[in-house]
Each structure stands twice: as C-alpha cells, then as structure tokens.
Structure 1
C-alpha cells in the first residue's frame, strides 16, 4: 500500500540556521493498516506467544524470584542500544554497593531504568491511567534529578529543539517536531493511548505508539529508553501481560540497524506494514525465548534444589541461600546474610557446600566482600546480551 508522508515538514530556524523539522500525523495511520494474511498471521502468532509467556507466571512457585532478573535484563539491553556498557553483573554489583566493572554512571543509568519501570507498573496497578502525566513521572525517575540528569529537565517535556544524528539540526538524520508543536502532538498521542478516536487492539497499539513516541521525541534525553519502556507499560495497562517478562530490547539490539531504518521508513514513506512485521516478529521471538528461559531456570532450580536437599543437616541453610540466589544470582556473602537472616558463619558454611556441588562459584579472591554467582542460572539469563570481551 502506498501512503504519503506520515506528517508534514515545518521550516524551522534556530541559532541562525534554518532546517526542516517533522511533525507526525495523529494515529491511527491513514489509510488504515493493510492487514494481509501474512501480517495477520504474524500478529496472531505473537499474541499466542505472549499468552504462553503470561501463563508461565502461573507455573512459577515464586514469580518474584524470576521477575527481579528479567526486569534487570531488559534494563541492561535497552541501555545497551543507547551505548551504555553496563552488563547484568555490573548492575547487580552496583545494587549491592559493590564496584562494577564500568563507570558508575553507566550502572546508575541502568539502575534508574529498573526504578522507572517499577514506578510505572506500580502506578498502573494502583489504578492510575497510562497518560502524559505518568510518562513524565516515569521520565523523572529514568533521568534522575542529580548529576548529569539534572541538566536534562527530568519529568519535563522539552522546550528546545533536539535532533538525531549529525552535529546540528541542519545536518541531522532526523529532526523531531519544534517545541511549539509538541503539546498538540502529545495531546493526540494520549488520545490514541486511550483508544480515541477509535479502539486499537493492545499489541498493535504498542507497535504504533512506540514509533509515534520516538518520532515526537518529547524529552531532551532518554526518549529511546522511555519509548521501549512504554511498550511494557502499555501492554500491562491493556491487560495483555501481567508481569514485565518480555524483553523486546534483545531483538532490537540484535537487529539494531533494521530497527532504526524501519522507524525512519514509517516517517518518510508511511510503511507501517513493514514496521508491524518487524514488531510482530520481535514479540514472537522475544516471548518465546523468555518463556523458554523461564522454564529452563525453573528446571535448573528444581534440579539443584533436589541435590541440595540431599546434604542432610546443612540442607536447610543451603536451600535458603539457593532461593536467595534465584532472585539475585550475583550476590555477596554479606547480602545473602541480610536476605536470608542467617548468621555470617552459617552463610559461609552453606556457600562452601554450594561451591562443592558446583551450584555457585566465587567471582573474587578477596577475604572480605567476596562475590558469588549462581553460575548456570546467570548463564541462562545472560544469553544474547554479553558485551564484547566480557561475560555476565
């Protein structure tokens, strides 16, 4: 289907330079999406995969154990797309007040992503609607109000021009709407999220809204991460996924060039169908992988639990450590003491047993502040996301 430009250009001038900025047309697309049998089949398969992933939470003895790591995996991957060099281990070490293997600001940035997602989900579960106000709240948490973040007006829509690629608007790859158009663009965007002027199915809405948000680029910084975070919030708000176990950022990272090209193609040629094909494939692949990983982690934990139970008198304390490591597979002896309520001596004895069984491995050689990993558990979580030359 041929469409015209999905919006219009405005001649804009700033700092003595004139350039064209792009103002997107309101959603839904016009003419309507051409739901070919192939495209419909992709979305049907994606919806089935999402349903299976959602059902996994019913099979878990304690979903919170897995969710802790799944949310952090998505945070790391989404931040990697923007160039952050923090790994999952770096984030967990940072949360333990241990020195990560990257600059602290990288670890802080990923940690703020986790906090932003958790804040948004908590507000939605409390009955607050997905709205511009909530998006501003989430952005404020994501960016932070100190250090580098304080200069980026956290929680406030931008009042100056931004651009993507290039050194200035005049040579940029893409220039989002000027500031005097943002309010109107966002008003239409919020109406679309609320199924106005017409109802849109949740998964399609998530796909379309992601592109529109990235095109409006309403903040000075954090638009890419917030745009991906918005997918999880919208799927939760519309009841399609109860827990944030979907990690689309892994697929986006692996196909980063295609991801950006398709976003731009929608703006320039109106090819929503190509974007929807990509998005449907991303959901199908990501949901299938997440469900498979969850089951593998559950099976591993069950098998290791049976081996630990055979320890006899030492089993009870070792099983408590084992459960704590399922929530946070990178931990210190001190953090395990705090989490389990066991004495330091009991924790250390239990760790000796778990090391002997091959369940955990010490990552450091320090007498104090030793760091341990639930090795095979961490390896499953880390699949597809290791930084070049680095492990978990």
Structure 2
C-alpha cells in the first residue's frame, strides 16, 4: 500500500503585472527619500523660523485637502495606467525645475513650498490610480491584495525612509542640487516601469454612469457613501486626528534634530534620523497582513495609533539621538500597520464602482488634517518651544483616541 501524501498548499507568487507596480514604487520612493531629507534641509538653510519651516511641510500636505477631492473623481473616469505614467512624468518635471533653481541659488522657502505642493499633487493622482490598479488585479483574493499592499508599503518605506534620506542628506552636503536631481530621475524610471502595466479590460459589470457624472456629483456621492458607513467614517475621522498630531511633530523634526537645544545633529546626520522610521516601517509592511488575520481593521488601527500616541511626549523628554531614533522606529512600524489596515478596509468595504470616490473622501478627511497640524505645530514651537509642540501632539491624540475608541470598538 502506497503512502498517501497530503499536498502542502502554498501561496502563489505575486503576478508580474503587480510586481511592476511594486518595482515602480521602489524606484520612485528612493528619489522621494532624497527629496524628504533635502527639502527641509534646504528650507533650514534659508531660515530657522519654525513657522517658515512648517509652511513647507504644510504645502506638501495641502494637496490632500484641496486637490484630492477632485483627483479621485477624475481618476475614476481616466485610464488608470495612463494616470500613473502622467503623474510621475509631471512630478519629474517639477523636481527638475527645483533642481535648476537650487543650482542657480534662487531657492527660497516659498519656491520650495510651491515645488512640494506640485510634487504631492502628482502623488495624490498617482496614489488614487495605483490603489484602483491593485484592487482591479486582486479582485476576489483579499490575501493577495493584503500582500501587495504590504509589499508596496514596505517598498515605499524602504526607499523613502531607509535608502533615500541618508543618501539625500549626504548628497545635500556635497551639492545641494544633487538629491533633487536624483528624485527627478527616479520619477522618470517609475513612469517607464508603469507603462508596462497592462490596461484593465472592461468588465461586463462595470458601472456605466460614473464617467457621465459631473465632478461635483461624483465628489458628493463619495462623501455621502462614506458618511453613511459607520466603520469607514470612524476610521477616516481617527486617521485625520492621527495625521494632524503626527505632522505637528514631523514638520519640526529638522529643527528638533539640528538645533543645539534638541539632538544637535549635523545636516549630514539628519537623514539617518529619518532612517529610524524605516526600521519599523519595513517590519510593519509584512507584519500588517498577519495582524489583520487576527484583528479587525478597526482594532488594528486603534492599537497602532495608541502605541504611536505615547511616542511624542517621549521625544520631548529626550536629547539622545539613539532614543529618539528608537521612538521613530516604533512610529514607523505603527504607521505601516495603520496604512495597510486603512487601505485594505477601504478596498474591502467599498463597492468597486465607488472605490475611487470613497478613497478621495476618506483622504480628504484623513490626510487633509495634515497641513493644519504642521502649521499648528509651527505656531506652538514659535511661541513656546518644539518640546511643547510634541507634548501637545501627544495629549490631543490621546483625547481623540479615547473618544473614537468608544465608537470604533463597540462591535
């Protein structure tokens, strides 16, 4: 009698069409990491005023509030692949212009803020189209969707927070224009990769009406749907509070790191402080799907935000770069879990024909609070101190989390 063997079921590899999306995110994020370190250093080289520094951070977040509502409604009616390519090409051109200004020694806080706005506006269109591409190509397979979302999150974190920032800060010391040039080149490479993503074939059950709706009607329909959905509505409000307090801290990070009464780091070392965010973020990417197999979307978000809330007062209490880096590493892990949980929750709960408009509404609420938080943090630091801004960020987030938890964890 022959022994019966039980086949071991293994998860299939991520398809090549989705690997191109992950590879494009990896390439462009490296340039973005260099941009992330170079822009605040360039602003700090012009002025040490916390309000002026926070203006640049606020400008980079403002598109979530003023562009995002229109972007997603438009993306729903545009070819997703073409939107991805055009968004990256546009960002590449914008960063190339910033490079020329830096070479000519014409950069100013307002010009850096304008460039940051344009780059992030392109990211809004890119992100909206990319999530639709992933949702289209992973339909009826939530595990694959979570894996792809986790891989994209890990790739973006690796480039934006691990590889790019130290390279960007070091390149800035050598030549201030060099990290900006690297970002422009990375966007071009990403556009080339995304051009290989196949077009989505039109399905028989695709809704024919969204393309005929006006932008105003599309935006309003997404807002109404989100307002009526208890889980996503609460997640959007909680995410908005988390982003408000997080940007209070991140907008001041360059001054906190380089001031003598802060960590006292050199410019070339600032990028390594951002790297600490990636240590947790890279771990959080693959960990997030495992967390979601054990916890609901709501509980995973509440747990991650609660952990991150405790970190801002800790930053205010320390002058040790090592301890500050450890706090940021934990913050990066928590942020990755929140990101993957929220993205997967939107894709899970939202009908496919409404996904674009709901993502826009969610981001308008969740990410739209970011620029307000950056400006508020700058005002607090200008009138009192950076440490005071960090303390207020922790207290405000703790109060919001307590209020939201009563609703979000009810079931």
- TM-score normalised to structure 2 length: 0.22
Higher strand share: 1
Larger radius of gyration: 1
- With CA pairs under 8 Å and 6+ residues apart, which has the higher RCO, 1 or 2? 2
- TM-score normalised to structure 1 length: 0.23
